[in-house]
Amino acid sequence: MTKSFEEIRKKVADGDAVVMTAEEFKQYVKDNGVRKSAKDVDIVTTGTFGAMCSSGAYFNFGHSDPPIKMQKVWMDGIPAYTGLAAVDAYLGATELDETNNMLHGGAHVIEDLVRGKAVRLRATSYGTDCYPRKELDTYVSLKTVNQAVLFNTRNCYQNYAVATNSSARTLYTYMGKLLPEFGNATFSSAGELSPLLNDPFYRTIGIGTRIFLGGGQGFVIWEGTQFNPGVPRTPDGVPKRPAGSIAVIGDLKQMSSDFIRGLTFTKYGTSLGLGIGIPIPILDEEMAKSCAVTNDQIFTAVFDYSEPTRSRTVLREVSYSELRSGEIAIKGRQVPTSSLSSLAKARQIAEILKNRVIKGEFMIEKPIQNFALDRVFKPLDVRTEKEAT
Amino acid sequence: MKTKVVLKFSPEASNQPITHNLIAKHHLVVNILRAEIDEFGGKMVLELSGKAEDIRKGLEYLKANRVGVRPIKEGVRRDDDVCTHCGMCVSICPTKALAFDPKTGKVTFTEEKCVACGVCIDACPPRAMEILI
């Protein structure tokens, strides 16, 4: 049997939708089978919370008197990009101040704003006939700005690599602290709770999908950068490497510091800890089957991050059950594992989203347009102008 | 009885055979979990085993010799409001004081197992861990 988006939306509006978290649904399928589960359940809620570097927020600060055409902008000392109209600026999560203080980057300023704090805004300019002011030094908060919008170009990776380190020294990476001689291995996916791993071919997640974003509501606005659906997959279609990703947008003013955090990766930089949840409508048995996927059926590759190349050797493939067990075997050694993605928060997000859908506070959306499955992820080579043309 | 303590030595006390005296004169079994010395003196994390009375006298002996004594619970602190329970610390903690509980999905911190090595401090992305010694 099949259900349309419209039928499921009507059930949500009428308060009749049967909604389960991804973990509850997997158990339900084990107990009742795919066919009955597809019939009984309307929506499955997923969740993930992890470091999502390609994130940032844009602001419209309003106009000062006399007004200024901001040419350089700092928010609590962190430079924001303002090559836009006079008082618009974009603050990137990984941006650092001039001293490279990694304990307080763009992501930390975004967290401070979400916590309701005031942030020092400095701007300089050359002055124009219409914007005569050359300097501005003031404070702003989410209460004072016109728009504060989280706008992220790549979030919510569908699967990610496992990092380890064969070298003799500790490595400090975006995958965390990697101890020497295979001292540990780190991974960064919510596995069976992760949104895109429950919809491996992006049937229900596309442009226009309404999502839980940082505690508020947001939308998927495009494929994420580096979108790469053509990676090796299991016979069930689950990607075994980093594959899809999404670009998202949402009102920062709705968000909560429970799901938006400034993170520091020592000697690497800053990133944004962000919570995303996506409701997946169970349109048919195929969707029920994809949402039934469990950690023992999701695989990824282990890479040696001491290899300074973009194409590192795959040391082995490993399932998320093995990663979650606390250790994996690499080259004959038992190596302790760490997650960079919070399972506790992923569960919390799936649960909150379930309750919001049940209460009718969160409506599911049919994608306006699905992602293109023929996208490829191209490398950057040093080329001549002719070769690039 | 067993107890873990953090000792702080002044530069003068660093030259005394204090650990030897704990063993020889106070009959304690001493397990050195961590030791370091610099221009400001020395720091040690010890596990002391022995009779309760001997441990009490041993700690008195340390205090009388101007060695700062603090319980291990005051070695490393986790700010539970900051921790996101990601689990980055779990694989680098040498004593498994930080461990992942698959049932709750949360990272547990067993202070009694901590030796205040500090490896977790700069590994924690939201910076929830603080070393106090």
pLDDT, tens digit (0-9, with 9 covering 90-100), for A152-165: 999 999 999 999 99
Range A314-323 average pLDDT: 98
Full set of structural domains in chain B with CATH: 2-74 (3.30.70.260), 77-131 (3.30.70.20)
Query: Are B127 and A338 a contacting pair at CB < 8 A?
Result: no
The values of phi and psi at residue B58, to 5°, are: -60, -45
CA separation for the pair A121, A137 (Å, rounded) = 6
B123 in reach of chain A (CB within 8 A): yes
Please report which helix (H) or strand (E) contains residue A32, including its range: helix A22-40
Our answer to whether residue A156 is catalytic in this structure is no
pLDDT of amino acid B54? 92
Find out whether A213 and A110 touch, Cβ atoms under 8 Å: no
Quick one: which H or E segment has residue A7? helix A5-14
CA A158 to chain centre: 9
DSSP state of B14: G
- Mean pLDDT in chain A? 97
Between A49, A176, A335, which is nearest B123 by CB? Answer: A176
Q: Give the best residue of B81, B83, B86 to mutate against chain A (max A CB count within 10 A).
A: B86
For B81, the closest chain A residue by CA position comes to A258
Asked whether the beta carbons of residue A50 and residue B86 sit closer than 8 angstroms, the reply is yes
Using alpha carbons, select from A185, A292, A187, A315 the residue that is nearest to residue A242.
Answer: A187
Q: In angstroms, rounded to a whole number, what is the distance separating the alpha carbons of residues A327 and B96?
A: 13
Nearest CA distance, B33 vs chain A (angstrom): 20
Q: Which residues on A lie below 8 Å from B98 (Cβ)? A: none
pTM of the predicted protein model: 0.93
Catalytic choice (A53, A130, A156, A291): A130
Residue A260 has pLDDT above 90, yes or no: yes
Measure CB to CB from residue A176 to each of B84, B88, B127 and give the nearest one.
Answer: B88
Question: Would the CB atoms of B125 and A51 count as touching at under 8 Å?
Answer: yes
User: What number is the average pLDDT over the span A361-366?
Assistant: 98
Q: Do B91 and A338 touch (CB under 8 A)?
A: yes
Lowest mean pLDDT among A212-216, A245-249, A253-257, B49-53: B49-53
Neighbours of A19 (CB within 10 A): 23
Read off the pLDDT of each residue in B36-52 and give the average, rounded to a whole number.
87
B43: confidence class by pLDDT, cuts 50, 70, 90: confident
| CA pair distance A362, A227, nearest whole angstrom | 27
B24 touches chain A (CB under 8 A): no
From A51, which residue of chain B is nearest by alpha-carbon distance? Answer: B125
- DSSP letters of B23-72? HHTT--EEEEEEEEEETTEEEEEEEEES-HHHHHHHHHHHHHTT-EEEEG
Q: Is the Cβ pair B125, A177 closer than 8 Å?
A: no
Model confidence over B8-22: pLDDT tens digits? 888 777 777 888 989
For the record, the structure tokens of A260 come out as 């938006």
Helix, strand counts (H, E) of chain A: 7, 24
For residue B38, give every residue at least 6 positions away whose Cβ sits within 8 Å of its Cβ, in sequence order, or none.
Answer: none
Top-confidence residue, A273 or B37: A273
Phi, psi dihedrals of residue B68, rounded to the nearest 5°: -70, 130
Q: Exposed, middle or buried, B130 (CB in 10 Å: 0-12/13-18/19+)?
A: middle
Question: What is chain B's mean pLDDT, rounded?
Answer: 90
Taking alpha carbons only, the member of A33, A3, A32, A36 closest to residue A17 is: A3
Please tell me which of the candidates B84, B89, B125 has its beta carbon nearest to residue A265: B125
Predicted pLDDT at B39: 83
Which chain A residues are within 8 Å of B79, Cβ to Cβ?
A: none
A36-60 average pLDDT score: 98
Half-sphere exposure of A300 (CA within 13 A, CB side): 28
User: Is residue B115 very low, low, confident or very high in pLDDT (cuts 50, 70, 90)?
Assistant: confident
Percent of chain B past pLDDT 70, that is, above it, reads 100
ipTM (interface pTM) = 0.93
Whether the CB-CB separation of A196 and A350 falls below 8 Å is answered with no
Confidence (pLDDT) at B11: 78
| B88 contact A CB<8A | yes
pLDDT at residue A92 tops 90: yes
- What pLDDT, on the 0 to 100 scale, is given for residue B17? 87
pLDDT at A235 over 80: yes
- What pLDDT band is residue A381 in, cutting at 50, 70 and 90? very high
For the ranges A176-180, A332-336, B33-37, which has the lowest average pLDDT? Answer: B33-37
Q: Say if the Cβ atoms of A344 and B100 lie within 8 Å.
A: no
Q: What is the pLDDT of residues A21-32, one digit of tens each?
A: 999 999 999 999
Collect all residues of chain B within an 8 Å Cβ-Cβ radius of residue A262.
126
Cβ neighbours of B126 in A, within 8 Å: 261-264, 273
Q: Which of B85, B91, B100 is nearest residue A184 as measured by Cβ atoms?
A: B91
Of B86, B90, B125, the CB nearest to A264: B125
pLDDT at res. A37: 98
Residue A342 is predicted with a pLDDT of 98
Q: What are A103-149's pLDDT values in tens digits?
A: 999 999 999 999 999 999 999 999 999 999 999 999 999 999 999 99
Please report the pLDDT score of residue B41 as a whole number.
84
Shortest distance, CA A26 to any CA of chain B (angstroms): 16
Residues of chain B contacting residue A337, judged by C-beta atoms under 8 Å apart: 90-91
Q: Would the CB atoms of B104 and A344 count as touching at under 8 Å?
A: yes
